[in-house]
Structure formats: structure tokens, C-alpha cells
Amino acid sequence: MTLRYSTDIVIFGGGVAGLWLLNRLINDGYHPLLFETGALGGGQTLASQGIIHGGLKYALSGTLTGAANVIAGMPAYWRSCLSGKGDLDLTGVPILCDHYYMWSDGSLRSKLKTFLGSKSLVGRVEAIARSDYPEFFSHESAEGTLYKLPDFVVDTDELLKRLASTVTNNLFALDEGNYQFTKNPANGKCHLLISCKDKLIEIAAEQFVFCAGEGNAKFIEQTGIESAAAQIRPLHMVYLKQVNLPQLFVHCVGDDFSLTPKLTVTSHTDIHGQTVWYLGGDLAEKGVNKDSETQIAAAQHLLAKLFPWIDTSEASWGSFLINRAEANIKNNYRPDDAFIASESNMIFAWPTKLTLTPSMADKVVNTIKEESTTAIDSSDALNTLRELLDKPEAASAYWN
């Protein structure tokens, strides 16, 4: 026997995108269900460095487009949520670093200074007087210039917990292979079929929203949607852990005004209380074809060159490969805003960056409203699914 239910919105994917959207939709009076096939945040979100960017990287490349202005507004948007005054209440989510820094080595100073003095960046980047350098950069052998950016770093683990805590009743763990989509020949709309514990459940939703990161590629194939395409960009991230490492949050800019700093460092704490330095940037992009040992050696070399005064001899090191998942808008171009594609009763969504998640949620919510999606009480579906499916687990950080 097939159990049949109707609901307004079904979301696939419990990373920051799916969980943020779920919260927004519940606040707007909808009754969405969210299905996750792995662990919450276990895709890109927990692997991210948690930097809420103001888009300086776009400015560095000289492309201050309209989309770059969207990202410029994101730090303020997040700050309003973090202080309980925004669309979502994120009070209690820790900010790991209230200001992000940019460090340029001595040789770049004059070129960068001229650029940073340009109109488009006034008020966005502040050169710091040497007498005001934080302790880490005050070392006598530190040669370079330090800038303060309006960017900041959130604790992604706590962010995910916060987003999940208010919507736990709407979250369901689904096994890969236990579901499929069917199309209603009369109107072309998709339905979801879940098989579980000898039961077949059919869910008709006004809208299916796919926020599954890298998993969106498979959904595009399964649903046959033509207006969306996916791409991935691989990264080889490195981390080191050591008890007495100072907290460090910095982009180290390279010899050109490239989109990617040669090294991006954020600091975290592992389950034993050790400081973790998490290393990305050009190091991660260029290291994708290196084995772990070679990539770690490259990171050690770079750190020693940039910060010769720091002693990491007691550190334990690790590295891992992870893909950034984005919409393929035109020939693997890097999108600079969140992207959504809507077709029939399906919406495919990629925030592109953690920072741009609110922009993605706005785009999806606007589309849902434009389509006049009506709120449908889904208590019957929720009750049945709760009996048959578990809650998804929370993922843990790579360094744990």
C-alpha cells in the first residue's frame, strides 16, 4: 500500500543552505520537510573556513560588479542576525574573530597601498599602524603591512547546531537509494517516492528545493531539469594542531591581485582544546594533485616563509580533499552571487559561499512567493515520517 501525503515544500540537503532556508520558510508559515542523506553540515559547510566576506577578493581582481555589491552587504546582514535583529535569530553563535586581516609582504607595499587607496575600497580596508599591530604581527622579524577588513569569522559548527535546533522536528535522515522521483504526466510536476520498512510513501510537494551541494548534480540528472548545471572546484585543505598556537585569522596576499590569496588562515579549537590552524587559499587550489605528504610539506614551507618567527615543531598535521559545489553558469566561470534555477515544481539552489546563504534564501523565498505557493499543513506526513525515519546526525570537523 502506498501512503500518500501532500506538503508545501520539501528540501534536500542539510548544509547551511538547506537549514537556513528551512528556518526562513517555517518563519514564513510554511511546513517544509528536509531530507539529508549524510550528516548535517558534513559537505562543504563544516569544511569551510567560516569567513563572512565583504567581497574584497572581487575588488582585488578589479571586478566590482553588481554581484560584488551584494556580497559587500553580507557582513552587515549576518551581524544583524547574530545580534537577534535579522531575518533569523542567530544569537549565541560565536564569532571566532571580529575582524579579518590581510597581510602583504614588504615587496608589495607601494603597489597595494595605491590600489587600496582607490575610491572603490575607501572605508572597506584599513591599514593598521605598526604600533597597533596585534601581538602575532609585532614580532621584530615580521616584514609587511597589515590591513583590517570588515570581514569576520563564524563558528560553523555552532552555526549549524543553532540552525538545526529550532527545526529538529522537520529533519529526516534518508538513505541514498531509498527514494526516487516520478513525474505526473498531467502537469509535469515531480513527486517523491520513499521506500522504507516495507512501506512506500508518496509525497506531493508544491515545491522541491535542492540544496544538496555536490549532490545537486545527481538530482539534475534524476529530475531531467534543463535550466541548471553543476560544477565542482576541488581544494586540498591543510590543518595543523598545536597547544600553544596563537589565534590567527589572515589572508596573505600574493604577488599579483589575484582572486585567491596565497594563503588563508583561520583558527579553531579541536575537541582536546588544541588550537587548529586551518589553511586554504592558493595553497589549497594548487595542491589538488599533490598527495597529502607533499601538500603538507608545501604548507610547512609557505608558513615558514611567511611567518619565520612561528615555531610549529610540535604540531600534528593533516590534509584532505574537498570540492566546492557551485552552479555552472557559463563555462566553469566562478559565480559571484548565490544562484537558483526554477523549473516546474523544482528549485535548484547553490549559495556559492557560506557568506551568500542569506542571498540564496531570499532568492528561493521570493520564487516560492511568486509561484503563489500555498502553505499546506503537513502534520500527517511529519507524523508518519517520524515513525519511519531517524533524525540526521550532526557531522564533526575534519580535525576532530
Ligand X SMILES: Cc1cc2nc3c(=O)[nH]c(=O)nc-3n(C[C@H](O)[C@H](O)[C@H](O)COP(=O)(O)OP(=O)(O)OC[C@H]3O[C@@H](n4cnc5c(N)ncnc54)[C@H](O)[C@@H]3O)c2cc1C
DSSP letter for each residue of 116-133: HTSGGGTTT-EEPPGGG-
**Is 141 in contact with 309 (CB distance < 8 Å)?**
yes
> What residues contact residue 122 under an 8 Å CB cut-off, 6+ apart?
none
Q: Answer yes or no whether residue 51 interacts with ligand X by CB under 6 A.
A: yes
Q: Answer yes or no whether residue 336 interacts with ligand X by CB under 6 A.
A: no
**307-326 residues near ligand X, rule: CB under 6 A:** 322, 324-325
Considering the complex, what minimum distance in angstroms separates the CB of residue 75 from ligand X? 11
**Is 306 in contact with 263 (CB distance < 8 Å)?**
yes
CA dihedral for 16, 363, 227, 345, sign (positive or negative): positive
Beta-bridge mates of residue 190: 183
**Is 181 in contact with 192 (CB distance < 8 Å)?**
yes
70 grid coordinates: 551584494
- CA distances, 268 to each of 172, 238, 288, 291 (Å): 29, 13, 23, 24
Measured CA to CA, the distance from residue 264 to residue 277 in angstroms comes to: 10
Considering the complex, what minimum distance in angstroms separates the CB of residue 214 from ligand X? 6
Considering the complex, what minimum distance in angstroms separates the CB of residue 131 from ligand X? 30
217 grid coordinates: 548534480
Angle between helices 357-370 and 74-82 (to 10 degrees): 90
Give the interface segment with ligand X, choosing from 34-42, 54-62, 100-108, 285-293 (CB under 6 A): 34-42
Q: Answer yes or no whether residue 237 interacts with ligand X by CB under 6 A.
A: yes
Cα atoms in the 13 Å half-sphere on the side-chain side of 275:
16
**Is 321 in contact with 288 (CB distance < 8 Å)?**
yes
Q: Answer yes or no whether residue 335 interacts with ligand X by CB under 6 A.
A: no
Which one of 280, 281, 287, 358 is in contact with ligand X (CB under 6 A)?
280
Considering the complex, what minimum distance in angstroms separates the CB of residue 216 from ligand X? 8
Residue closer to ligand X by CB (options 142, 357) is 357
**65-104 residues near ligand X, rule: CB under 6 A:** none
> What residues contact residue 263 under an 8 Å CB cut-off, 6+ apart?
251, 252, 279, 280, 281, 282, 283, 302, 303, 306
Give the interface segment with ligand X, choosing from 99-107, 124-132, 350-358, 377-385 (CB under 6 A): 350-358
Give the interface segment with ligand X, choosing from 41-49, 84-92, 240-248, 303-311 (CB under 6 A): 41-49
Torsional class of 287: left (φ above 0), alpha (ψ -120 to 50), beta (otherwise): alpha
Task: With CA atoms as reference, report the closest residue to 241 among 277, 273, 283.
Answer: 277
Q: Answer yes or no whether residue 42 interacts with ligand X by CB under 6 A.
A: yes
57 grid coordinates: 577578493
Q: Answer yes or no whether residue 22 interacts with ligand X by CB under 6 A.
A: no
Q: Answer yes or no whether residue 150 interacts with ligand X by CB under 6 A.
A: no
Residue closer to ligand X by CB (options 234, 246) is 234
Q: Answer yes or no whether residue 12 interacts with ligand X by CB under 6 A.
A: yes
Q: Answer yes or no whether residue 337 interacts with ligand X by CB under 6 A.
A: no
Which one of 22, 25, 30, 38 is in contact with ligand X (CB under 6 A)?
38
CA dihedral for 129, 134, 138, 143, sign (positive or negative): negative
Which one of 23, 48, 170, 359 is in contact with ligand X (CB under 6 A)?
48
Q: Which positions from 196 to 235 touch ligand X by CB under 6 A, shown as an x/- string?
A: ---------------xxx-x-------------------x
Considering the complex, what minimum distance in angstroms separates the CB of residue 323 from ligand X? 7
Q: Answer yes or no whether residue 252 interacts with ligand X by CB under 6 A.
A: no
Give the interface segment with ligand X, choosing from 38-46, 137-145, 309-317, 379-387 (CB under 6 A): 38-46
Q: By the criterion CB under 6 A, which residues form the site for ligand X?
A: 12-18, 35-38, 42-45, 47-51, 53, 211-213, 215, 235, 237, 280, 322, 324-325, 350-355
